[in-house]
């Protein structure tokens, strides 16, 4: 009987702890992706200050995803989000898309974005929720 009580208590604790842990790790992955997007946006804005163009650097070479400081999130280890870039001379849109089969695939906030005017997006999810938590 005592053993069954201990097993029941462990089951209750696990039922509470596991979902909270998963929510915490998803929020941490989103935070890393947002940081990568904002750092890439700063890179593009600094480039625009120097060249008055988003799509070319100071030596005239094209700006691509490979030019960005962050092409994935997190920067080290297995990617959870991949960073994408759509750029013209006067505009850009950065997107972080969850890697298929990764921890954020199929979850809320699996696509995040920001453009040259600072407008944030979250695919079909609530922008305020995805960018604030």
User: What's the pLDDT at 106?
Assistant: 82
**What pLDDT was estimated at residue 31?**
95
CA 52 to chain centre: 27
Indicate the burial class of 44 (C-beta count within 10 angstroms; 0-12, 13-18, 19 or more): buried
Q: CA–CA separation, 69 vs 98, rounded Å?
A: 18
pTM over 0.75: yes
SS3 (DSSP) at 98: strand
For residue range 37-65, list pLDDT tens digits in order: 999 999 999 999 999 999 999 999 999 99
| 92-98 vs 111-115, strand pairing mode | antiparallel
Q: Which residue matches tokens 């960073």?
A: 83
């Amino acid at each position: 009987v005592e053993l069954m009580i201990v097993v029941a208590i462990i089951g209750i604790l696990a039922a509470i702890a596991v979902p909270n842990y998963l929510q915490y790790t998803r929020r941490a992955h989103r935070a890393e992706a947002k940081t990568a997007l904002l750092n890439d946006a700063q890179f593009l804005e600094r480039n625009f200050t120097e060249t008055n163009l988003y799509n070319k650097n100071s030596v005239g070479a094209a700006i691509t995803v490979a030019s960005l400081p962050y092409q994935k999130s997190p920067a080290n280890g297995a990617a959870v989000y991949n960073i994408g870039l759509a750029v013209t001379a006067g505009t850009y849109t950065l997107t972080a898309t969850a890697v298929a089969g990764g921890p954020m695939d199929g979850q809320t906030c699996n696509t995040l974005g920001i453009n040259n005017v600072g407008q944030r997006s979250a695919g079909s999810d609530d922008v305020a929720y995805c960018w604030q938590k």
